[in-house]
Amino acid sequence: MLPTERIAYSAISQRPKLTLPGGKRLAVWLIVNVEEWNPKETMPRTVLTPPAGGCRTFRTGPGTNTATASASGGC
């Protein structure tokens, strides 16, 4: 799907009930992630924001949420 393509919105209460084969109640989907990079270059985790709420820089000013910016409390 291209970023310009959209799926029509449907409220969750209007969607058909999802069921698993055999009436099962739990589905497990295992995903293996394999990454490869040159250790002599910049590590991927130093390029992107750390996961799980790591240190972030918030902008303040017109059109930004100053409550979120001040709530961050710095690092």
The DSSP output letter for 16 is P
Reference 59, options 45, 46, 72; nearest CA is 72
| Predicted TM-score (pTM) of this structure | 0.28
pLDDT digits (tens, 9 = 90+) for 34-53: 888 887 887 766 666 666 65
**Exposure of 3 in the CB half-sphere (CA atoms within 13 A):** 0
Spell out the domain ranges in the chain.
1-31
How many Cα atoms occupy the beta-carbon half-sphere of 27 within 13 Å?
7
For 1-75, where are the alpha helices, taking DSSP H only? 44-47, 66-71
- As given in the structure block, the two tokens for residue 29 are 């989907």
Q: pLDDT by residue (tens digit) across 8-24?
A: 888 999 999 889 999 99
